[in-house]
Chains A and B, each alone.
Chain A
C-alpha cells in the first residue's frame, strides 16, 4: 500500500523539500496512516451521516458590521519585507 504513495507529488503540493532520508521516513509514516485508514474503511457505515465536525453544534452567524480597524504597522511588523503598505515577496511571474 505504501508503495502507491507518491511522496514527491505530495511534497510538491505541500511545498516541502525532503531529503532522501526524510522521504523514506515519510513513506513509512504515511504507510502506517493509510493502513489505519484501511481498517476504518472496513467498518460498515451505511446509514451513517458523514460528519463534518465532531462538535454537536452549528455555525453561529455574526451581523454584517465593520468592527475591525486593523493596525497595519503592528500586523506587518513580523513580515520579512514591506514597502508602501505592501508585503513584498520574491517576484511571482504571472
Chain B
C-alpha cells in the first residue's frame, strides 16, 4: 500500500523585544543564570503581569503579512501544568481567542513549484525557563532567564505532505519574521523552534491517521530528518499490523531517531481558563492601521520585483531569501542599474568571500557603493572579468577606492589596439606549430592563443577584441 504523510507545524517565534512579555526584565541572551528573572517572571505572590505593547504590535505585523484576520479583542488564558522550569505552575497563553486568526503563506519548493500553506492561528504566550541536567550530580539546575520571553506560536493547517515541504515552510517562516524584524532568527540561540505533528494515511484517503507530535526541533535540517524518521516509523508500525498511539516524542539528532518523551503517559489536560490577572486585550483599528501603513516590502513582493528585473526564479529566490542579502543587493542594483551583473557579483564573488571569511553580509568589507562602481567599470569595458576580480580582492582587503585602485594596480583593459596588435603578433610568432594547426582548421587553438595573449597582457586585454584580432591575422 502507498501512504500519504500529513504534516502540520507549530512554530514558536521568539519576538525581538527588549523586555519580557509581562515584565520589565531584559530578554538579552547569554546573561548569568537567573540574573534576568524578576519577581513577575518567578510568579512571586502579589505580582501582576502587564502586557508589553511591542509584543502586540509584532503579532499584528505578522498577522497582516500572512493576510490573516486580526482579532481586535483577545484573551489571555492560563495553561496549567507542573514542571520545575515553570515557576507559576501555569503558562500564560491564548487559547480560545488568539490575536491572529486564519491566514496563509506561500512556500517555494526546491523544484521551483510553490505551495499555499494555511495558517490556522498565531497566538501570544510566554516562554518557560531552561533545565540543565548535566551540571549538578543527581540534581537539575533551573535557569529562569528565558521565563517570560515573548513567543508567537504559529500553528499551520495539516497542509504539508513531505518532510522537505515542512522544512521549506519552516525556512519561509524564518525569512518572513526576519523581514518583519519581529525575530532575530537565531536558531542556535533558540529564537525559532518548532513542533511537528505527523500522521500517515492510505494514499487517496480523506481521513486523518492518528498523529504524533515531535517537540522542540531547532534546525532546518533536523525538521526534515525528524519528520522523515517519524513517517517511516508510522508506516512500519501500520504495515506490521500495529496502531499508532497519540503521543509526544522528541528527536535525537545523534541517533537520528524519535522516541517517546517520558511522563506523557497521561492524556494532556491543561485546564485552560482566562487569566484573572490579565484584563481582556482590546485593540482599536487605528493601532492596526498604523502597523499596516508601516509594513516593509515582503519576501514575495521582493522575489517578484527581482524576476521582473530579469533574474531567474532561482536567483530571485536566493537573493530575496535573506533580508540582509536583499538589502545589500538592492543598494548595488539601484546604483548599477544592471540586475544580472549585480546578481552575479553578489551571488558569486561576494558570497564566496563572505563564506570563506565566515562574515555576515552586513559586515562585508566591500560596500554596495564600491561593488556598483566596479560593475560600472566592467560594463563600460574598463575592466575585464579577470581584472575585475583582482580589483574585488583589493577592495575586500580595503586597499582603496575603485578608480584609484584601477590606476594604481594598472587594471584598465588595453584600449590601445596598436599595442595589443603588436602583442598578438608576438604570440603568434612564438608558437608557429600551433599557428599552423589553427590555420588548418583546428579552431580549438583559438582559445589557446587568446589565453596566451591574456597572459602576456596580464589579463588587461579585452578577450573579445583579442579574438577578433587573431581571426583577422589568419
A residues near B, CB below 8 A? 9, 12-13, 15, 52-53, 55, 57-68, 70, 72, 75-76, 81, 83-94
**Residues on the A chain within 8 Å of B140, using CB:** 88-92
* Chain B residue at minimal CB-CB distance from A76: B34
**Residues on the A chain within 8 Å of B75, using CB:** 52
Does B207 lie at the interface of the complex (its beta carbon under 8 Å from any beta carbon of A)? no
Does B279 lie at the interface of the complex (its beta carbon under 8 Å from any beta carbon of A)? yes
B51 pairs with A62, CB closer than 8 A: yes
**Residues on the B chain within 8 Å of A89, using CB:** 84, 139-140, 142
* Chain B residue at minimal CB-CB distance from A82: B34
Complex CA–CA separation, A86 to B142 (angstroms): 5
Stretch of B52-60, B340-348, B366-374 contacting A (4+ beta carbons < 8 Å) = B52-60
Given A52-B75, A67-B19, A86 and B135 contact (CB-CB distance below 8 Å): yes
* Chain A residue at minimal CB-CB distance from B89: A15
B residues near A, CB below 8 A? 17-19, 23-26, 32-40, 42, 44, 50-56, 75, 80, 82-84, 131-133, 135-136, 138-144, 250, 261-262, 266, 269, 271, 274, 276, 278-282
A58 pairs with B282, CB closer than 8 A: yes
B50 pairs with A60, CB closer than 8 A: yes
* Chain B residue at minimal CB-CB distance from A92: B140
Per a CB cutoff under 8 Å, which of A12, A67, A68, A88 touches B141?
A88
Looking at A9, A68, A75, A85, which has the most chain B CB atoms within 10 Å of its CB?
A68
* Chain B residue at minimal CB-CB distance from A56: B279
A64 pairs with B18, CB closer than 8 A: yes
**Residues on the B chain within 8 Å of A87, using CB:** 34, 84, 141-142, 144
Per a CB cutoff under 8 Å, which of A57, A67, A75, A86 touches B143?
A86
B132 pairs with A15, CB closer than 8 A: no
Complex CA–CA separation, A86 to B134 (angstroms): 13
**Residues on the A chain within 8 Å of B37, using CB:** 70, 72, 75
Complex CA–CA separation, A94 to B133 (angstroms): 8
A75 pairs with B53, CB closer than 8 A: no
**Residues on the B chain within 8 Å of A61, using CB:** 50-53, 56
**Residues on the A chain within 8 Å of B44, using CB:** 75
B262 pairs with A94, CB closer than 8 A: yes
B144 pairs with A58, CB closer than 8 A: no
A62 pairs with B52, CB closer than 8 A: yes
11 pairs from A and B in contact (CB 8 Å cutoff): A15-B82, A60-B50, A64-B52, A66-B19, A67-B24, A72-B37, A75-B44, A84-B135, A86-B33, A88-B140, A92-B131
Given A53-B280, A59-B280, A91-B139, A66 and B34 contact (CB-CB distance below 8 Å): no
Given A52-B75, A66-B24, A75-B42, A85 and B280 contact (CB-CB distance below 8 Å): no
Given A75-B37, A93-B262, A59 and B139 contact (CB-CB distance below 8 Å): no
B136 pairs with A64, CB closer than 8 A: no
B141 pairs with A83, CB closer than 8 A: yes
* Chain B residue at minimal CB-CB distance from A78: B44
- What 7 pairs across the A-B complex have the smallest Cβ distances? A86-B141, A85-B33, A61-B53, A64-B54, A67-B24, A58-B282, A52-B274
- Supplied contacts A52-B280, A53-B278, A62-B50, 12 more A-B pairs, CB within 8 Å: A52-B75, A58-B281, A59-B281, A64-B53, A65-B24, A66-B25, A70-B38, A72-B32, A86-B142, A87-B84, A91-B138, A92-B131
